[in-house]
Every structure is written in structure tokens, then in C-alpha cells.
Amino acid sequence: MEQFTNCIVEAYMSGAGGGSVNSLRQISEQFGITLMKTRKILITVGVYHTEISEQVISLWENGKNISEIMQETGLSRSSVHSYLPYTKMIYNADELSLYAERCRLYRKRKQEIEKLHCCMDKSLELLENHLWETLKLFSGYSFTTVKGLRFHYTVNGNEILIDRKKKSITRSSVNIALKETMEMKGNVNGPKKLKVFGASYLYAIFCRFGLIKTEG
């Protein structure tokens, strides 16, 4: 369980969005747990701090019970519990095995992105191949477009199947978008600059992979 907690903390501390609600949601989906559980884990290890979390913990430490905290903060019972650190965490063997697998996938994805970045000053062909391998590994991952639409994809042969679209994005389109991105040195001002079908999705994916530079 410690390994699982460490993975969540690492994802939170290194994620885009500076620990915003959106980044918590993305982490929750990535590791297959609720947003409240993600927040509770981060609070337990001391890396998540907001005005409301500090208020709940302060009230608790000053002897207030759950009902009193609910009344003072206006939070639901489940929300109050999610802002309090764990005192103990008990999981069965199946849960621990599942969490371990999710940690392995998180590590593999992180390593694949590191490999991808190492190829950015190499040949375009090598970068294209590594990008495709990275895309396959992120199949099922939750991405968000610039307009706030969340989506997942699967890879089938040389096509990316977006769950929100009936059509697919071909590997050749991915390569065109990659070439455009590299020519602009990662300074891509919006999805339309990628000049391919499915640009809004590829833009979100490329941002997550660090191919496109984002503010902050």
C-alpha cells in the first residue's frame, strides 16, 4: 500500500494543473479510485492543503465531531471524512494486487514518456516510432481537450479510436501532427495548428506527453 500511496503523491506533485481539482480527478481515474479517496490519501501524507481542508482538520483537532463540522462548513458527511487523514488503511489481497498493477502501469507510462523526450533531438522516424509505443501504453487513459471534453482512446492496428468519435485517427495523421509540432519546437498555439483530423484530441495528448509546451 505504501507503493500505491507513493505513486499517487508523485503523480500529484508532478502533474499539470498545480494540484487543481482537475488534476485530482485525473489521478483518481488513472489509479481507479474515487476523487475523495485520492484527496484523503494526499491529506494523510501532508501534501494536499486548501483553506477548507485546513479548516476541517483544525475543527477536528479542536474536538469537533463530524456532525458539528458538517454544520459549520456546510459539507456533506462523506466530504468531511475525505478531508480528514486516515488513521489506518486496511485492504484485502485483491485490492493490494490491483493497486500494485496500477502502480506498475503508472511507472511504465512515466518511463515511456522519458524515452520519448530522449528521442526529441534524434531522427523524426525514431521519434514517430516511440510516440506510437507511448500512445499504445496510454490506451484507456483519461485526457481532456482544450474545451474541457474528457476522452479515452484505444489503439487498433495503425489507428487510434476515440471514444467520443465514430471515426478514427490514423497513424499517418499522428505523424503529420508530430512533424508540425517539432517544426514549431513545441510552441503550438492551439489544436488547429496541427492541421489534421482529430487535432483537438492529439493536441491534448501531445500536451500530456510534453511534446507541446504549456503555460506554467
Q: What is the pLDDT of residues 160-172, one digit of tens each?
A: 999 977 789 999 9
In a domain, 101, yes or no: no
> Are residues 49 and 129 both part of a single domain?
no
The domain total for the chain is 2
H helix or E strand, kind and range, residue 143: strand 143-144
159 pairs with which residues across the strands?
A: 156, 170
In a domain, 67, yes or no: yes
Q: Which residue among 94, 111, 135 closes a domain?
A: 94
> Are residues 129 and 180 both part of a single domain?
yes
> Are residues 139 and 177 both part of a single domain?
yes
In a domain, 199, yes or no: yes
In a domain, 11, yes or no: yes
> Are residues 16 and 86 both part of a single domain?
yes
In a domain, 192, yes or no: yes
Range of the domain at 201: 122-209
> Are residues 76 and 154 both part of a single domain?
no
- Burial track 75-98 (b if 16+ CB lie within 10 A, e otherwise): beeebbebbbeeeeeeeeeeeeee
CA 58 to chain centroid, in Å, comes to: 30
> Are residues 89 and 148 both part of a single domain?
no
Q: Which residue among 77, 94, 111 closes a domain?
A: 94
Residue 19 confidence (pLDDT): 44
| 48: alpha, beta or left? (left if phi > 0; alpha if psi -120 to 50) | beta
DSSP character at residue 196: S
In a domain, 111, yes or no: no
Residue 14 confidence (pLDDT): 78
Instruction: Supply the pTM of this predicted model.
Output: 0.76
> Are residues 90 and 10 both part of a single domain?
yes
* Mean pLDDT, range 151-159, rounded to an integer: 95
**pLDDT per residue over 61-102, tens digit each?**
999 999 999 999 999 999 999 999 988 765 666 666 777 888
In a domain, 215, yes or no: no
**pLDDT per residue over 124-142, tens digit each?**
999 999 999 999 999 999 8
In a domain, 30, yes or no: yes
> Are residues 159 and 88 both part of a single domain?
no
Among 39-48, 94-103, 173-182, the range scoring the smallest mean pLDDT is 94-103
Counting every residue written for the chain, the total comes to: 216
* Mean pLDDT, range 16-22, rounded to an integer: 45
> Are residues 75 and 139 both part of a single domain?
no
Confidence check: pLDDT of 16 > 80: no
Average pLDDT along the chain: 89
* Mean pLDDT, range 148-152, rounded to an integer: 91
Residue 30 confidence (pLDDT): 85
